[in-house]
Structure 1
Amino acid sequence: MKKIKTSPFMPSEVEIAKVSDNEIKIEAYPFESGYAISLAHPLRRLLLSSTIGYAPIAVKIEGASHEFDSIRGMLEDVAVFIINLKNIRFKLKNDAEKVEVNYEFTGPKEIYGKDMETEEVEVVTPENFLATLNEDAEVKFSLIIHKGIGYVPSEEIREELPEGYIPLDAFFTPVRKAVYEIENILVEDNPNFEKIVFNIQTDGQIDPLSAFKDALGVMYKQMSVFNNELNIDIVQSAETQEEIPGLKKLLQKIEALNLSARSHNCLERAGIKYIGELVLMTENELKNVKNLGKKSLEEIKEKLEELGFSPEKGLSSEEAEALKKRIEKIKS
Structure 2
Amino acid sequence: MFNKKNFFINNLSIKKIDFFRSIIKIEPFLNTYSDTLGNFLRRTLFLTSFCYKISHVKIYNVNSFYFNIKGISESVDEIVENLKNIIISIKNDYSANLLIKKKGPCIVQAKDIYSDKKILIINPEKIIANINCNVFFFVIMKCIHSSFFKIIDKNFEKKIFFSKVFYLKENNSCLINVNYFIHKSKINIKIKKLFLDIETNGSISPEECFKNSLFYIKKYFDVFFSLLGFNKKKKIELFKEKILKINPLFFRSIDNLELSIRSSNCLKSKNIFLIGDLLKKNENDLLKIPKFGNKCLNEVKKMLFEKKLSLNMKIDYEF
Alignment match, 1:261: none
Alignment match, 2:26: 28
Q: What SS class does the counterpart of residue 185 from structure 2 fall into?
A: strand
Question: For residue 125 of structure 1, what is the amino acid of its counterpart?
Answer: N
Match of 1:219 among 201, 217, 220: 217
Alignment match, 2:177: 177
Match of 2:207 among 206, 209, 231: 209
Contact 1:177 1:201 in 2 (8 A): yes
Question: For residue 174 of structure 2, what is the amino acid of its counterpart?
Answer: P
Match of 1:230 among 225, 228, 231: 228
Alignment match, 2:185: 186
* Deviation for aligned residue 1:192: 4.2
Alignment match, 1:283: none
Q: What SS class does the counterpart of residue 79 from structure 1 fall into?
A: helix
Contact 2:183 2:194 in 1 (8 A): no
Q: Aligned equivalents of 2:211 and 2:116: distance in 1?
A: 29
Structure 1 unmatched ranges of 5 or more? 240-332
* Deviation for aligned residue 1:110: 1.4
Task: Rate the CA distance shift 1:159–1:213 in 2: closer, same or farther, 3 A.
Answer: closer
Question: For residue 103 of structure 2, what is the amino acid of its counterpart?
Answer: T
Question: Per-residue displacement from partner, 1:7-55 (whole Å, max 9, x unpaired)?
Answer: 4141333332211122111122232332123222232233223244211
Contact 1:220 1:236 in 2 (8 A): no
Match of 1:77 among 53, 75, 78: 75
Q: Aligned equivalents of 1:131 and 1:121: distance in 2?
A: 24
Contact 2:98 2:113 in 1 (8 A): no
Structure 2 unmatched ranges of 5 or more? 158-163, 237-319
Task: Rate the CA distance shift 1:161–1:184 in 2: closer, same or farther, 3 A.
Answer: same
Question: Per-residue displacement from partner, 1:164-219 (whole Å, max 9, x unpaired)?
Answer: 211102436433332222x2412753x24432221112233332212212211211
Q: Aligned equivalents of 2:101 and 2:10: distance in 1?
A: 55
Report the TM-score, using the length of structure 1 for normalisation: 0.60
* Deviation for aligned residue 1:148: 3.1
Task: Rate the CA distance shift 1:176–1:160 in 2: closer, same or farther, 3 A.
Answer: farther
User: Which has the larger displacement, 170-179 or 52-61?
Assistant: 170-179
Contact 1:149 1:173 in 2 (8 A): no
Contact 2:184 2:193 in 1 (8 A): yes
> What is the aligned-residue identity percentage?
23
Contact 1:51 1:149 in 2 (8 A): no
Alignment match, 1:56: 54
Alignment match, 2:197: 199
Question: For residue 20 of structure 2, what is the amino acid of its counterpart?
Answer: N
Q: What SS class does the counterpart of residue 179 from structure 1 fall into?
A: strand
Cα RMSD between the aligned structures?
A: 3.0
Q: Aligned equivalents of 2:4 and 2:69: distance in 1?
A: 71
Report the TM-score, using the length of structure 2 for normalisation: 0.62
Which has the larger helix fraction?
1
Q: In the comparison of the two structures, how many residue pairs are matched? A: 227
Alignment match, 1:102: 99
Alignment of 1:35-46 (within 5 A): 35-46=33-44
Q: Aligned equivalents of 1:180 and 1:147: distance in 2?
A: 27
Task: Rate the CA distance shift 1:97–1:185 in 2: closer, same or farther, 3 A.
Answer: same
Alignment match, 1:167: 167
Contact 2:102 2:137 in 1 (8 A): yes
Q: Aligned equivalents of 1:145 and 1:229: distance in 2?
A: 39
Task: Rate the CA distance shift 1:15–1:6 in 2: closer, same or farther, 3 A.
Answer: closer
Q: Aligned equivalents of 1:172 and 1:41: distance in 2?
A: 21
Question: For residue 98 of structure 1, what is the amino acid of its counterpart?
Answer: S
Question: For residue 71 of structure 1, what is the amino acid of its counterpart?
Answer: I
Q: Aligned equivalents of 2:123 and 2:17: distance in 1?
A: 19
Contact 2:52 2:88 in 1 (8 A): yes
Q: What SS class does the counterpart of residue 171 from structure 1 fall into?
A: coil
Q: Is 1:127 paired with 2:125?
A: yes
Question: For residue 102 of structure 2, what is the amino acid of its counterpart?
Answer: F
Q: Aligned equivalents of 1:62 and 1:6: distance in 2?
A: 64
Question: For residue 165 of structure 1, what is the amino acid of its counterpart?
Answer: V
Alignment match, 2:115: 118
Q: Aligned equivalents of 1:102 and 1:217: distance in 2?
A: 33
Q: What SS class does the counterpart of residue 221 from structure 1 fall into?
A: helix
Q: What SS class does the counterpart of residue 149 from structure 1 fall into?
A: helix
Contact 1:54 1:172 in 2 (8 A): no
Larger-Rg structure: 1
